[in-house]
Amino acid sequence: MGDYSGTYICRLIMNRISTGIKGLRAKQLTVLAALGVLLLGAGCGDFFVYPGSTGSGSTPGSDYVFVANQTAKTLAAYSVASGALSPIYGSPYSLSFAPTASVVNPANTMLFVAGVDGGAGHIASYSISSTGALTLLNTNNIGLAAPISMDVSPDGKWLIGLDGNGITLDEYQINATTGALTLGNGQSYLIPKSVVVPRAIKISPGGNFIFAAIGTAGDLIFPFDTGTGAISNPAQLSLPPNVSDNALAVSPSGNTLYIARSGSNGGLAAYSISSTGVLQSLTTNPYPAGSQPLAVVVTGDGNNVYVANQGDGTISGYTIASNSAATPTSGSPYSNASGPSGLAIDSSGKYLLSISNAGSPDLTLFAFDTAIPGKLNLIASTSTGTDPTGPISIAATH
């Protein structure tokens, strides 16, 4: 028999109670009530959670990661608080559509998952309980296309999606109780004589700009008013030939934009952001990375940046100086076992996670070295279901 934790046993007993309660006689119900009192006294009180709760009125757990599997049409959920990939009870969750993007709101109470089914776009809203379990709140039908990438404004009021149609920035106002989405004005864009491939979207920490990576067509900078939801016409960052911008990250200060750039002059591109949203290329730009950079993430303190290189199955790490210059961290690049396509940092700031849609393992967990700043140590990996699962997006609590 395995070494089961008290948490696992509590969940198992509660599941038995909930699935077997129908048809019981009064005497049996009395026994179950007594058992419930014992469970509460044994520390199982956290599992008596209203399934529709969005976390209000309690402090939700905040060290979870969620992986959207496009091939399997599932959501895999894990706790990483203990430094291991511990599946959440009930994971993986089935989806009614093939997912394309996912994001957790700043309050860590909701997960939004976008996708397509039969040509129709959907965004599903899930509540995140204090145990990391997901409960479907709403499935919002959003038209013909679905966002390729999504982000939530820092105040939690607006969900912004980079539409797969290549001409639209979608905008939805979020009902913080029900997870329902109300269509906002959004913004359209047109890039003449360019091939637009929607890749990634990111809202600045101050909520005043929305950045969009659109492949070889470069990047767009939309001024944004989180009070009214108004999104203004964008400025464009153009690229030289044979280069594609694939992913974005913004420093916690909001002063620097990092871009995962592939092609003949690929790597980690870094730009300072002015108060008006003007981007200025930093010296030695871009910084060298591996083959086919597809994702980028910055640590909560802004001291380190990491790029996922799908082409050679590595992760490049950089230490950021006070003048925003980037130098490789010790041991970089780090082997990822399979080609990484997405990155996230857990809420504790102790771990970096990567997904791979190039083959198993689907999800990999790295720990930040406690002695050497910025260095990554691989500590765990797993499949996110019965392969092939096709991980397409990773979202972590903040």
Phi, psi of 97 (to 5 degrees): -150, 165
- 38 and 61 share a domain? no
Residue range(s) defining the domain that contains residue 32: 6-44
95 within a domain of the structure (yes/no): yes
**60 contacts 45 by C-beta, under 8 angstroms:** no
Length of the chain measured in residues: 398
179-221: pLDDT as tens digits: 999 999 999 999 998 999 999 999 999 999 999 999 999 999 9
- 175 and 157 share a domain? yes
Residue 115: both structure tokens together: 């996708």
- 194 and 277 share a domain? yes
Closest by CA to 319, choosing from 259, 268, 358, is: 268
Question: How many domains does the structure of the chain reveal?
Answer: 2
- 26 and 153 share a domain? no
220 within a domain of the structure (yes/no): yes
- 28 and 138 share a domain? no
CATH of the domain at 59: 2.130.10.10
- 34 and 94 share a domain? no
**248 contacts 307 by C-beta, under 8 angstroms:** no
Sign of CA dihedral 234, 237, 242, 246: negative
Residue type, 313: G
- 133 and 229 share a domain? yes
- 332 and 360 share a domain? yes
1 within a domain of the structure (yes/no): no
61-116: pLDDT as tens digits: 589 999 999 999 999 999 999 999 999 999 999 999 999 999 999 999 999 999 99
Phi, psi of 125 (to 5 degrees): -110, 125
- 190 and 313 share a domain? yes
- 18 and 91 share a domain? no
- 26 and 73 share a domain? no
340-395: pLDDT as tens digits: 999 999 999 999 999 998 888 999 999 999 999 999 999 999 999 999 999 999 99
Q: How far apart are the first and last CA of the chain?
A: 36
- 65 and 38 share a domain? no
70 within a domain of the structure (yes/no): yes
